[in-house]
Structure 1
Amino acid sequence: MSEACSSGPGGAIRRNPAAFGAADWLALAASPTFALMAVLTTVLGGESMSMPCSASPASPLSGMAMMYLLMSAFHLAPWLRLIRGVR
């Protein structure tokens, strides 16, 4: 076992926060970044340019804001692992 990991009570392995690498920080940055993009797309009206091109009425489940929300949800796993304390 490396120095970056230590076994705590109950055998759970916890990582030293100082030992986080670039990939760990990138994984943690994905979800908040996509959530921010969803908010900005909604607030700034990023969908207005694509609306005239659409033949069907706008659905709340379509568009870039919904895609960013789904991407944010799919990238929550590193945050859940960090909160839970398991690598």
Structure 2
Amino acid sequence: MTTTANTTSDGFHWLGLAAAPTFTFMAMVSLFDGSQASICGSGPDPSPLGSMTTMYLLMALFHLAPWLKFARRR
């Protein structure tokens, strides 16, 4: 029974580590995408803080905590 609990917590640990690289990849894709289609921006010249690239970079930054904990343990 403890094996299942350890396996589940290990799975959640690795899931937490997957978030930051995924958001970083999505930021790079949206940065180099030629269409620059924005879901949030309705005007012809939206603010740079309203772009999808900025949103993905902020999400990656907010999800760095598991990586910092992982690096501190090593």
Report the TM-score range of the alignment, normalised by the length of the smaller protein. Answer: 0.7 to 0.9
Given candidates 57, 60, 64, the residue that maps to 1:72 is: 60
Structure 2 partner of 1:29 = 18
Structure with bigger strand share is 1
SS in 2 for 1:50: coil
Taking only the aligned residue pairs, the percentage that are identical comes to 46
> TM-score, structure 1 length as denominator?
0.64
Q: Give the TM-score normalised by the residue count of structure 2.
A: 0.73
| Higher normalized helix content (fraction of residues) | 2
Could you list the runs of 5+ residues in structure 2 that have no partner in the other structure?
A: 1-8
Kindly state the Cα deviation for residue 50 of structure 1 after the two structures are TM-superposed: 3.4
**Is residue 2:38 matched to residue 1:58?**
no
**Secondary structure class of the residue paired with 2:22:** helix
Structure whose alpha-carbon radius of gyration is higher: 1
